Amino acid sequence: MGVRRVLVLALAGVAVLAAPSAAQDAAADRCRSALLARPNPPTRIIDPCHELAVAAVSDRTSRYWVSPRDVQSGVGGSAAPAGSPAQGSAVPSTMPTALAATTVAAVAHDSGTTTITAISLNPMILFSASGDPLEIARLSRLLDITLFVPVDGLDEDDDGRIDYAGARLRINLMAGSQSHDLLDRLSEAVRAEMDLASLIQPVLSEATDPGKCVASLNASDATTAVVTESCDGPLPVQVDEARYTGLRAAMREAREAADARYLGLDLRVDTGDPVFGTAHHAPGTSLVAAVAAGRRITDATGGASTGIRGRVGARYVTLRDTTVTDWQLDGGLAFEASRQVEDQRIELSLGLEFRFSGNRTSAEVLRTRYAEIRGGITVPIAGASAVVVSLSAPIWGDVSPTLSVSGNWRQLLGALSGS
């Protein structure tokens, strides 16, 4: 008798222990079926009811996600040799070229015409293994180097030296900067989604048809009564739309920071005669170290944008044929306006550039003590190329007006991408 009682109690105990497990298995099977019945069924299922709850929440929150791309700006990064007669826009940006870019410019100035070609390279492409794109990418936003020379006569005075050449180093101090606000809002949004999923999961586990429950939850016209009936009980779901509105704004801000805002160093070296023979004893070597910054603001419709950019720094000049040296203040301030037209961006810039030092007697050969107005227009002719027309005219001092027409091509080393 005692043995029989023990056996009965043991069987009852096993039944009690097994019942929840069987119920959980049944619920998991129902949730698994609902997951597999989705339009794009997942290939990996571990905890079906938890995963169905996450899928249901992501379906629901996707309604509140609106792409911000329409209000985002494009990115510059051309090879225009800033500070040379071939400079393409007023106070050009220091945003580096992503991979490579080249410019060929026809320039008219006091002494005639010149053709200048420039190439910008991201040095990480030269020194990093092409099979390691991640390493390239990590450093690619930092800097680029631009080299330029006149191509219609490297040594017209036959002195064995290149008449004029220069190099530019653009360093983007904001490379890789991210919006902390974006990350905070992203975490908040996903936190809220996870809370929702945690609330939904027990209901889905109890529902006789969790797939029907999820469908009613995400039906735009479902009433509370319908959802309650479909889910065999009330579903505590509320989506805070404001979180997604804020997230959208934060993402737009982060993208704008990368595309439209920069703070960088603009380092320039020139050797030779930058005035192409209009002044005697002008050949020399100059070094410029400047800080440059810019900000572009895109309007709410995503089409037009306006911006401001400036540069200020020091220039040191030593002339080749004399003992004259000079320290100068070099800078500029410009406004830009641009508009995205389908896949292209038209850009206008207008600004004031100046250079000043205390040397009055050699101002012309030192190219100092002047201010000039410079304007430029960039008209893209394809996705990564453009025609640029630029004009400068002095408003104070003795420098030549210039007119340049150039063609820009960007990102010619696309084959490296993802290699």
Partner 1 sequence: MMAYKGAIQRGCRVAAELVLDPAAGGHALVAVAYASNARSRGSRALTVAPGMTDHCEIPTSDREKGMVRITVDLNRDADPATLTVYVDGQVADSAQLAGDTTWVYAVS
Q: Which of 9, 10, 67, 130 binds partner 1 (CB under 8 A)?
A: 67
Residue 414 engages partner 1 in binding (rule: CB under 8 A): yes
Binding mask 364-383 for partner 1 (x = CB under 8 A): -------------------x
Q: How far apart are CA 74 and CA 158, in angstroms?
A: 45
Using CB under 8 A as the binding rule, whether residue 183 contacts partner 1 is answered as: yes
Q: Which of 27, 30, 73, 117 binds partner 1 (CB under 8 A)?
A: 73
In the complex with partner 1, which residue's Cβ is closer, 216 or 357? 216
Under DSSP, the state recorded for 416 is: G
Instruction: State which H helix or E strand residue 256 sits in.
Output: helix 241-260
Neighbours of 200 (CB within 10 A): 27
| Per-residue CA distances from 282 to 137, 160, 275 (Å) | 41, 17, 7
Rounded to the nearest whole angstrom, what is the least distance from the CB of residue 328 to partner 1 in the complex?
A: 34
The partner residues of 307 in beta bridges, in order of sequence, read: 296, 336
Q: Is residue 58 part of the contact set for partner 1 (CB under 8 A)?
A: yes
Rounded to whole angstroms, the Cα distance separating 392 from 337 reads 18
Per CB under 8 A, 191 contacts partner 1? yes
Taking the C-alpha atoms of residue 244 and residue 339, their distance in angstroms, rounded to an integer, is 27
Chain center to CA of 48: 39
In the stretch 99-128, what mask flags binding to partner 1 with x, by CB under 8 A? x-----------------------------
Measured from the CB atom, the residue of 305 and 402 that comes closer to partner 1 is 305
Regarding 46 and contact with partner 1 (CB under 8 A), the answer is: yes
Nearer to partner 1 (CB atom), residue 53 or residue 227: 53
Exactly one of 75, 147, 352, 387 binds partner 1 (CB under 8 A); which one? 75
Report the nearest approach of partner 1 to the CB of residue 46 (Å): 4
Smallest separation, CB 92 to partner 1 (Å): 18
Residue 255: phi, psi to the nearest 5?
Answer: -65, -40
State which residue, 76 or 313, has the beta carbon closest to partner 1: 76
Is residue 109 within 8 A of residue 86, CB to CB? The reply is no
Among 34, 79, 91, 98, binds partner 1 (CB under 8 A): 98
Least distance CB 208 / partner 1 (angstroms): 22
Using alpha carbons, select from 407, 388, 382, 405 the residue that is nearest to residue 101.
Answer: 407
Query: Min. distance of Cβ 389 from partner 1 in angstroms?
Result: 22
Q: Using CB under 8 A, which of 235, 254, 267, 386 touches partner 1?
A: 254
Distance CA 192, CA 51 (A): 16
CA-wise closest residue to 203 among 34, 23, 27:
27
SS (H, E, C) 8-36: HHHHHHHHHHHHHHHHHHHHHHHHHHHHH
Residues 6+ apart with CB under 8 A from 86: 80, 103, 105, 107, 116, 118, 148, 404, 406
Q: How far is the CB of 412 from partner 1 (least distance, A)?
A: 8
The residue among 187 and 223 lying less far from partner 1, judged by its C-beta, is: 187
Stretch that binds partner 1, among 106-114, 252-260, 285-293, 387-395 (CB under 8 A): 252-260
Q: Which is nearer to partner 1, 34 or 227 (CB)?
A: 34
Find the part of the chain contacting partner 1 (CB under 8 A) among 5-13, 86-94, 183-191, 349-357: 183-191
What's the angle, vertex CA 202, arms to CA 201 and CA 208, rounded to 5?
100
Which tokens is 41 given? 């069924």
- The identity of residue 268, as a single letter, is R
Which residues from 212-251 bind partner 1, rule CB under 8 A?
251
| Radius of gyration of the chain measured on its C-alpha atoms | 33
Closest CA to 96 of 251, 256, 258, 255: 258
Minimum CB distance to partner 1 smaller for 352 or for 379 = 379
Rounded to whole angstroms, how far apart are CA atoms 335 and 353?
A: 12
Q: Which residues bind partner 1 (CB under 8 A)?
A: 38, 40, 42-47, 50-51, 53-55, 57-59, 62, 65, 67-69, 72-75, 98-99, 133-134, 136-138, 140-141, 176, 178-179, 182-183, 186-187, 189-191, 193-194, 197-198, 251, 254-255, 257-259, 343, 383-384, 410-411, 413-414, 416-418
